[in-house]
Structure 1
Amino acid sequence: MRLCLKIKPFMPVYRNLQKAIATRNFALENADKIVLNADDAEAVKLMAESVKAHPAASKLLALILEPEKAIMWQESDLTMKGKIDGLLPFGVLDLKTTTSAEMKDFEKSIFKFGYHIQAAHYLAGAAANDLPAENFYIIAVENEPPYCTAVFVVDHETIEAGEKERQKLIKLYKECMSSGIWPGYSDKIQTVRLPFWALKLINEDENDDY
């Protein structure tokens, strides 16, 4: 997002610089920049070009009122925080890198990585700060060549589902804060086994041998 909006410069670092004093001096001289190696710098450049070349993405970028908008608000006796990639006149814009920007794949990514919860959180924060909070848009750019880009608006049913999950997490967090107990994995010995599909695959291979 920063490169797309030209917010902050970045400086590629080449492998021959990654040596003791040279690396230290390089870091000091470029302290105000995001330091990337040459390969990553080229990939970021191509991803940014892909985003800016996408008609819908470029239109949304042009409409941004404020990039990297930090927000805070009080909710359920807690201080909430967030940083919006791009504040739009009609909602929130977020940039995501992804292995696949194809809709059916990205829908899975939304659930897997909790983007629906993030969407609900940022829209709640925007509303609490009297900022536009109608819709949550995502620019998804693939992180492998040819770095294809797609643009999505998260539907309201998904936002509502994300809000339900968000409220559950807020409740859990408050319970943990109150009790001092932060549950992790089981503290008992557990029996582990191969997943069903793996056992089925092994059994099928065994039957094929006869």
Structure 2
Amino acid sequence: MTNREYHADPAISKSDLDQIHRSPLHWQYRKAHPPEQTPALLVGSAVHKMILEPSGFADEFAVAPETDRRTKAGREAYQAFQESAAGKTVITPEIYRLCTDMAEALSHCQTARQLLTGGRAEQSFFWDDAHTGIRCKCRPDYLRDGFCVDYKTTQDASPEAFQKAAYRYRYPVQAYWYLHGLGKNGLSGLDFVFIAQEKEPPYAAAVYYADELFLQLGQQEAAADLETLAKCRSTGIYSGYPEEILPLTPPKFALRDLM
């Protein structure tokens, strides 16, 4: 199954859970109005392809030539390029250099290199949730013996910063969701690991694993999100934020400053 076919399938993914967690109204709107690919998403897709499936990079991406399209020769060269790149995603030479630089830097991280060797990338899995009956899906970045590997680009891959990013972007839900889905497909006993690589030179990388508490938190949040979706489908009501007037309490860090 291609990435496009996977995303077109209506089964519920981790990104769906994130939208439902924000509010069912946000999830419903996004389903009806799929977001367009932003420059940041384009870079992320290209980097993932270069890291996880380098041999297939040229099948999906085409690098635009550095031609002066103000000239006749430049316009003709670019036209020929467009014809040869039909069906592929066009990226700039700058994005391509970023991809190759990040891949080169990651190749020097022995742990990451071993985790991304001897397995298979981008496989799709589906299952039915036992409690709600909702059809679910996941598409791990990379599977190999004993490990489900997820590659993340980040501003800061240090332990303290990545821990904060993990909770901000609900990585516990992702780790649980993928391991649960794989288990439903007969692939159990795997450890979930994140390869975090910074997006700025020197493109430093670190590897983290999801511990038991991390997975328990993910399980709790994923179950709550599915229950919310099941209720919405039953009632036909996809609510937004709470309608009652809510207190606006200072955050904990601000309260510490008052002490």
Match of 1:81 among 128, 134, 137: 137
Retained in 2: the 8 A contact 1:71–1:81? yes
Secondary structure of residue in 2 paired with 1:31: coil
Match of 2:112 among 40, 47, 57: 57
Pairwise CA RMSD: 3.1
Q: Against the structure 1 CA distance between its residues 107 and 191, is the aligned structure 2 distance closer, same or farther, given a 3 Å change threshold?
A: closer
The answer on 1:44 being equivalent to 2:99 is yes
182-191 or 160-169, which deviates more: 182-191
Which structure carries more relative contact order (alpha carbon 8 Å, separation 6+)? 2
Q: How many residues are treated as equivalent by the alignment?
A: 200
Distance 1:28 1:159 in 2: 47
Retained in 1: the 8 A contact 2:64–2:90? yes
Aligned residue in 2 for 1:153:
209
**After the TM superposition, which residues 2-13 of structure 1 pair with which residues of structure 2 at under 5 Å, given as runs?**
2-4=49-51, 5-6=53-54, 7-9=56-58, 10-13=61-64
Distance 2:198 2:170 in 1: 18
Retained in 1: the 8 A contact 2:177–2:222? yes
Of structures 1 and 2, the larger Rg is shown by 1
Q: 1:158 Cα deviation (Å)?
A: 0.3
String of CA shifts for 1:132-166, please: whole Å, max 9, x gaps.
44211111111112211111111111011111000
Counterpart amino acid of residue 108 in structure 2: A
Counterpart amino acid of residue 58 in structure 1: R
Distance 1:36 1:92 in 2: 29
Q: Against the structure 1 CA distance between its residues 94 and 195, is the aligned structure 2 distance closer, same or farther, given a 3 Å change threshold?
A: closer
The answer on 1:119 being equivalent to 2:175 is yes
Retained in 1: the 8 A contact 2:117–2:144? no
Distance 1:173 1:17 in 2: 52
String of CA shifts for 1:55-110, please: whole Å, max 9, x gaps.
1000101132x210111111131110111110121131000000000011000011
Secondary structure of residue in 2 paired with 1:81: strand
- For structure 2, the 5+ residue unaligned runs are 1-47
Retained in 2: the 8 A contact 1:73–1:79? yes
Match of 1:98 among 154, 158, 167: 154
Larger strand proportion, structure 1 or 2?
A: 1
Aligned residue in 1 for 2:221:
165
Q: TM-score, normalised by structure 2?
A: 0.67
Residue identity over aligned pairs, in percent, reads 27
- For structure 1, the 5+ residue unaligned runs are 202-210
Secondary structure of residue in 2 paired with 1:8: helix
